[in-house]
Each structure stands twice: as C-alpha cells, then as structure tokens.
Chain A
Amino acid sequence: MEVIVFLVPLALLLGLFGLLGFLWSLKNGQYDDLDGAAWRAISDDDGTPARPVELRSESRP
C-alpha cells in the first residue's frame, strides 16, 4: 500500500493542472461571452460564406 504515497500526490498534481487550466482560461477572457461561445461552436468559420443551394436548379426543365 506504500504506492499511495506516490499515487495520491500524483492525483493531486493532475487536479492542480486542471485548476491552472481553468484559471488560465478565465484570465484569457473565455468566460466573458458565454452566449456567444455557445453559438460560435456551431458556426462555420472557414472564412468563405456558405455557397447558396442552387445546384439543383441547374437541371433545366
């Protein structure tokens, strides 16, 4: 059971990395616009506007 002497501090160290990550993201302003972040996740930001769906109209009557 001596292994817990290493495992517990190791677990805490990993947790500490998580905390530092959180503090960094907070400082970085990632919690300033929660509504916007929700929408940005689903927007296409490849720089070019989505091509209008007109391909089907090319098949002439």
Chain B
Amino acid sequence: MQATRDFSHYVKHLGSGLAHIDLAVEGVSCAGCISKIERGLSAIPDVTLARVNLTDRRVALEWKEGALDPARFIDRLAELGYKAYPFEAVTAEAVEAENSRFLLRCLGVAAFATMNVMMLSIPVWSGNVSDMLPEQRDFFHWISALIALPAAAYAGQPFFRSAFNALRTGNVNMDVPISIGVILTLATSIVETIGHAEHAYFDAPIMLLTFLLVGRYLDQNMRRRTRAVAGNLAALKAETATKFVGPDEISVVPAAAVMAGDIVLLRPGERSAIDGTVIDGRSEIDQSLITGETLHAAVEPGSEVYAGSLNISGSLRIRVSAASEGTLLAEIQRLLDHAVQVRSRYVQLADRASRLYAPVVHVTAFLTMIGWLIAGASFHDSIITAITVLIITCPCALGLAIPTVQTVASGAMFRAGVLLNSGDAIERVVAVDRIIFDKTGTLTLPEFDVVNSAAVPADVVELAGRLALASHHPVAAALARAAGAKSPLPGITEQPGQGVRGILKGEEVRLGSPTFCKADGLANEILSRDPEASVVAFARGEKRYVFAVCQSMRPDARAVIAALQKRGVAVEIISGDREPAVRAAAEMLQIPEWRAGVTPADKIARIEELKRQGFKVMMVGDGLNDAPSLAAAHVSMSPISAAHLSQATADLVFLGNRLAPVIASLDHSRKALHLMRQNLYLAVGYNFLAVPIAILGFVTPPIAAAAMSGSSILVMLNALRGRHVPQETL
C-alpha cells in the first residue's frame, strides 16, 4: 500500500493561473545553498518563481496551476540534500511581520524628518550668535514645522496609540510621558514661531521619536524572528497523518486536514497526530510524551490513542474523534488556561520604571512653572521653562535602555542554542533559585540509544544495523542509527510482533525479541543489571548477541546539574515515570530531591507549594503532561523535541542534544538584567544632571539635542556589552 502525499492544504491559489507554496527548509546556511536551491527548483518546467529567504529559512515557490504536484518540490530538495516541509504561516506571525514593517516605515519617516529639521536648526543655532535676520530665522522655523508636524503625526502613531490605550484603561506606561512631551513641545514651538521667538524646539521631539523607534523596531524584530523560528519548528515536526481515502487507498495529509470520523493508519514507528479510537489492529504504544510513563501500553480495538503517542509494534487503524472533552488532553488544556492567567500578572521592569517615572516628571515640570511664577517670571517664560524640563526628561534613553539589551542578549542566547518565546523571559529567568527537571526527554535524550555496542564485535553491530533497517520498530531504528547502517540486506522478511529474519551466505540471521532469537538467557542477564533498558537480540547461525537500548542521559547532564548547584540553584526531578527509573536517574546525576509517578495536577501542586515557600521555580520539561506545570512555574523551558503544546507554553526553547543551554540562559539573563539596570541608572542619572539645568532655564535647543543623542548612544553602547558572557566549558 503506497501512500500518496497530498499537500493541497498548503497551496495558495493566486489567481491568474498561478499557485504558491511556502516550504520551511532545514540546513540552508550560506550563499551556496541559496543559488543551489533556486537553480535546482527553477530548472523544473512551469516553475515561475523560486526564492529563498535565508533569514527565515524558507523557500517561496510559484508555478502554473495544475502543471505540477507540490510533492515534487520536496523530492527535488531532498535530491539536493535539503529536508523541506510545507509551511503554513500562523496569523500571529503575519501580524508580527506587519508590525515590524510599520515600525520600519515610521522609523524611515522620523529619520528623514530628523535629518532635515537638523539641517535647518543648525544654521538657526549658529545664526543666533552671529547675524541671522529674524525673517530668515522665522522662515527656517516655519519650514521645520512643515516637516516636523506631519512626520511626528505619522511616526508617533505607535506611541500615541499605546498611550491612549493605557490611559483608557486607567494605566500609565512609558508612552504617556513620551506622547505628552512630544505634543506639548511641538505645540509650544508653533506658538513660539508665531511670536517670532528666538528658540523653537522642532528638532528635539522628532529626534526623540527616531531614537525610540530604533528601540521599538529592534524589539519587534527580535520577536518576529523568534516567531519565524517557532513557525518553522511547527512545520518541521510535520504533523501529518496517513488517511484512508478509499477502502485500500491511503494518502499522507497534514493533521489539520483530518476531520472527526476519518480513519487513519498508524504504522509502527510513527507518532500519532490525532486523538482517536482504535478500530483495527493490536500494538503497544509509547505514551511517554503525554504521561511521562516509559512502560509501553498495550492497545486493542476500542482503546483510546492520544496525539503524541508513538506506535511500537503493529499497524493500527484509528477512527478520529473530535469530541475530546473529558480526555487527558482536555484536562491538560484546562489546567494550562488557569496557569497562564495567573502568570500574566507579572509586571515587566520597563513598566515598573515608567510607573515611577511618569508622575515624577510631570510633577517636576509643574512645580518648575509654579516656582518661576512665584519668582516673578512672566507666564510665557514659566511655561517655556516647564516644557524644556519635559523635553529634557523625555525618556529617550529610558525607552532604549531595555529593548537594546534584550535584542543583544537574545541574539547571544540564540547563538548559545536558546530561543526566547516570551518577551519578559530574560527578566524572569534571573530570579530563579530552583529548577525542576522532568526526566524523560528532558534529562534524557528524546530518542533511544544503544548502550552496550562496545561489548559486541564491530562487524556484528554493522550487520545487525543493516538487518534493523528492515524493521519499523523504534528499538530497531535506534540500532540502525547507532550502527550507521545505510544499505538494507536483501530478502529480509518481517514476522509481525517478533522480528526480522533472512539468509546471509547460507546462515540464518535474525533480529528481534529474545525469544524469537532464542537468547532469553543473555537478555535476562542484561535486564537484571539495568531494568530500564529495552533489549533486542541478534542471532547468526549459533552465535547470539543482545543489544540493550534505552534513553540515555544527555551527554552533559551531570556537569550541568553540578554547575547549577555551584551557582546556588537547587535542582529536583519531578517525573511521571516509575520510581526505579527516576531513582536511578537521580542517583546518577546526584540530585537529592526527586518524585516519581507524579500526575500533571500534582506537578502543579508541588510548584505552588514551592512558590508559597518563596522559591522562584524554573520548570524544564518536554511532555504534554508538563505543559500545565510549565505554565504554572515562574519561568519555563522546553527542549526542541518537546510536544507542541509544551513548546508553545515554554518561555524558552533550547536546541540540540546538550543540556548546556540551561546554564547559558541563566548566565546570559543575569548579565542582561545587570546591563538593563545599569542602563536605567545611566538614563536616570543623566536626568539628574540635566533637570536642574532645565529648571533654571538654561536649556537651549542645541543643549537639548546634544543631551538626548548623547545619552541614547551611551545606553546603546552599554547594551552591546551583553554580547559576550564568559562560558565555562562543560
């Protein structure tokens, strides 16, 4: 039964007879890849566009509708050496991309206006001390107004909107003092220009907007990039299902295209993408991603199978169920919703700073005006002085202080193998003093590995690996991978539920269960030493070998745990797995605190208990059963191999087989928060120096402009120090 691949779900019809598809491609990294892929795909007749986006690691393809099957592009890319997956952009990502483009447009307008207003301001400043005619000055002021007003109205939109939304809900954010400052300054400048005054401040507010937009754009771009990576991951996980389109005809379709009531085929070694009920076939399934339990569960017609289960031995026909209320997934979703609500009460550093900042600034400006009135100054002069206080305190450096550090730090963490899922993750990671690890798939590698290949002759390992290629069983797949086997042996037959057998040079070779290979003695010996292992036996003639296969620890797990403990972070294991397995892992990693057989609800209970004791808990987990506790913890992290829901919930996602990114995220975040604080002090300290000058009425437009750009550049340069964090080798 050969399955056809149906990608029509992903194809967009552009009209005018063209079809479009986006593919996420793995392993694109350089100029060579770009031209190789683009030439390779353009060579297919009827392809009208093939364009690689290196930033997002995607290929956009357009072709004459009906002329080609999209599956052909994926095959062609495979021939070129790239793994590709059809990709569907999520709405959130499109919104982020549009925001990012809007901010860049605002930035372009603001930067243009700043440069041109500056071109007009500098002659006025120098003219004021030499011999500029008042008419010329007025002319320059009016042209400045002509540029600055529309530019501020356009480029200020992100700030005005956000300030308006905050005020409407009775809050204050950083955008409120920014908006008030910009509007008041421009209004005053117009009044001053009408009155033929010597000073007008058209340059300061538009320059302020430019600097702030740089910060906003950097911040937005970081978020867009993370989203793009997350989107690709979703595509790489290839949530497909093999659906019956006829009694004996199957087709591989995206999981999104499967409806309730459809019947899907789940072959050994495949992970289910849907929830459903078994209607035909018997097998064992591995539900470790869902429950954390590593013992396989037996399923037969009538059994429930959840998305994320791995099928081990036999083929299953499953009827897809939509009504999943009351199931495990629904329960997990409910816990998750609750936990997410609780956490959103966290207030970010930037918002806390602005809540303090805004009232202080406005009160100071007001007091300045009153003070000058009492001192006998005219009403006009008092107001002008009060507004210069607002201009000089406008939180330019403050607005850049945090986004610049976040951008630099997230770039550094990206290189260390950590992706940021949420904007405030850095701030929350810093407070962590206790880390809870899940065992299966988090401390251990997500895939099976042969642990005793050194005890078996190399030629036997190689032969067994080639034999293993004939089987779909995950344990056999692990053996084939470990042996690096590429070419399957000819004439191998599979005995369902038993193993595979064949004839090699007149001798019979078998690979499968110990009973099938008559190697029970050897197998029991291994199992008594390591009860966690799965065994697969190999027989050639009279010779017998047994391979022990298990999920081994991540290579640097021991070193990472020790390094965490050295940093004063307490570590514990909470797992849904059986006690002996968890105990063995805890002993090996020297973790004194561990809990086994824990349900999702109990995991949350434990986290809540620790929270009440005042601990800031980081949860590191990958299973579906971890998703609610990931959301309940102060901050959470998932490996890239994690279940979808968990990955979406986690604040940070780490790549690769090593656990070192956990340490890296901690170190980088600590450094980043240090720099954020430093930047806030720099920005506030600058205000402390500048405000008295402004209150005394000595601030002229050139001083305001110089002070603003000086402090912004200082803060940006300081943020760049976040690029380098000393990393210990583990």
Using a CB–CB cutoff of 8 Å, the interface residues on chain A facing chain B are 1, 4-5, 8-9, 11-12, 15-16, 18-19, 22-23, 26, 31-36, 39-40, 42-45, 47, 49
Complexed CA–CA distance, A49 and B139 (Å): 60
Q: Pick the residue among A9, A11, A34, A45 that contacts B55 (CB under 8 A).
A: A34
A12 touches B116 (CB 8 A): yes
Please tell me if B56 contacts chain A, counting CB pairs below 8 Å: yes
Complexed CA–CA distance, A45 and B38 (Å): 10
Residue of B nearest to A2 (CB): B136
Please tell me if B31 contacts chain A, counting CB pairs below 8 Å: yes
Complexed CA–CA distance, A1 and B32 (Å): 57
CB contacts (< 8 Å) of B714 on chain A: these are none
Scoring B residues 29 to 42 as 1 if CB is less than 8 Å from chain A, else 0, what string do you get? 01110110001000
Residue of B nearest to A25 (CB): B108
Contacts known (A40-B34, A42-B31, A43-B31); A4 close to B108, Cβ less than 8 A: no
Report the minimal beta-carbon distance from B478 to chain A, rounded to whole angstroms: 36
A35 touches B54 (CB 8 A): yes
Residue of B nearest to A34 (CB): B55
Number of interface residues of B (CB under 8 A): 27
A32 touches B55 (CB 8 A): yes
Residue of A nearest to B108 (CB): A22
Scoring B residues 93 to 118 as 1 if CB is less than 8 Å from chain A, else 0, what string do you get? 00000000100110011001001100
CB contacts (< 8 Å) of A12 on chain B: these are 116, 143, 147
A31 touches B104 (CB 8 A): yes
CB contacts (< 8 Å) of B631 on chain A: these are none
CB contacts (< 8 Å) of B143 on chain A: these are 8-9, 12
**Given known contacts A26-B105, A31-B104, A36-B53, what 18 new A-B pairs fall within 8 Å (CB)?**
A1-B133, A4-B136, A8-B120, A8-B139, A8-B143, A15-B112, A16-B112, A19-B108, A22-B112, A33-B53, A33-B54, A33-B56, A39-B34, A40-B31, A40-B34, A43-B31, A43-B34, A45-B35
Q: Sort A-B residue pairs by CB-CB distance and give the 4 closest, nearest first.
A: A36-B54, A39-B31, A19-B112, A43-B31
Contacts known (A5-B139, A12-B143, A15-B115); A36 close to B52, Cβ less than 8 A: yes
Residue of B nearest to A47 (CB): B39
Using a CB–CB cutoff of 8 Å, the interface residues on chain B facing chain A are 30-32, 34-35, 39, 52-56, 101, 104-105, 108-109, 112, 115-116, 119-120, 133, 136, 139-140, 143, 147
CB contacts (< 8 Å) of A22 on chain B: these are 108, 112
CB contacts (< 8 Å) of A26 on chain B: these are 101, 104-105, 108
CB contacts (< 8 Å) of A40 on chain B: these are 31, 34
Q: Pick the residue among B35, B55, B101, B115 that contacts A43 (CB under 8 A).
A: B35
CB contacts (< 8 Å) of A32 on chain B: these are 53, 55
CB contacts (< 8 Å) of A18 on chain B: these are 112
CB contacts (< 8 Å) of B140 on chain A: these are 8
Chain A CB within 10 A, most for which of B32, B104, B112: B112
Residue of A nearest to B132 (CB): A1
B136 touches A19 (CB 8 A): no
Report the minimal beta-carbon distance from A10 to chain B, rounded to whole angstroms: 12
CB contacts (< 8 Å) of B105 on chain A: these are 23, 26
Q: Pick the residue among B55, B116, B139 that contacts A33 (CB under 8 A).
A: B55
Complexed CA–CA distance, A34 and B31 (Å): 13
CB contacts (< 8 Å) of B31 on chain A: these are 39-40, 42-43
Residue of B nearest to A12 (CB): B116
CB contacts (< 8 Å) of B104 on chain A: these are 26, 31
Report the minimal beta-carbon distance from B681 to chain A, rounded to whole angstroms: 33
Complexed CA–CA distance, A32 and B70 (Å): 24
B112 touches A36 (CB 8 A): no
B116 touches A39 (CB 8 A): no
Complexed CA–CA distance, A42 and B54 (Å): 14
Residue of A nearest to B28 (CB): A36
CB contacts (< 8 Å) of B35 on chain A: these are 43-45
Complexed CA–CA distance, A1 and B147 (Å): 22
Complexed CA–CA distance, A47 and B139 (Å): 56
Report the minimal beta-carbon distance from A4 to chain B, rounded to whole angstroms: 7
CB contacts (< 8 Å) of B133 on chain A: these are 1
CB contacts (< 8 Å) of B34 on chain A: these are 36, 39-40, 43
Contacts known (A8-B143, A39-B34); A1 close to B54, Cβ less than 8 A: no
Residue of A nearest to B140 (CB): A8
Q: Pick the residue among B39, B112, B119 that contacts A11 (CB under 8 A).
A: B119
Chain B CB within 10 A, most for which of A22, A33, A36, A45: A36
Report the minimal beta-carbon distance from A9 to chain B, rounded to whole angstroms: 8
Q: Can you name 19 A-B residue pairings with CB atoms under 8 Å?
A: A1-B133, A9-B143, A12-B143, A15-B112, A15-B116, A19-B108, A19-B109, A23-B105, A33-B52, A33-B54, A35-B55, A36-B52, A36-B54, A36-B55, A39-B31, A39-B34, A39-B54, A43-B34, A45-B35
Report the minimal beta-carbon distance from B275 to chain A, rounded to whole angstroms: 38
Complexed CA–CA distance, A31 and B108 (Å): 12
Complexed CA–CA distance, A25 and B147 (Å): 22
CB contacts (< 8 Å) of B32 on chain A: these are 43
Report the minimal beta-carbon distance from B499 to chain A, rounded to whole angstroms: 47
Residue of B nearest to A43 (CB): B31
Complexed CA–CA distance, A18 and B112 (Å): 8
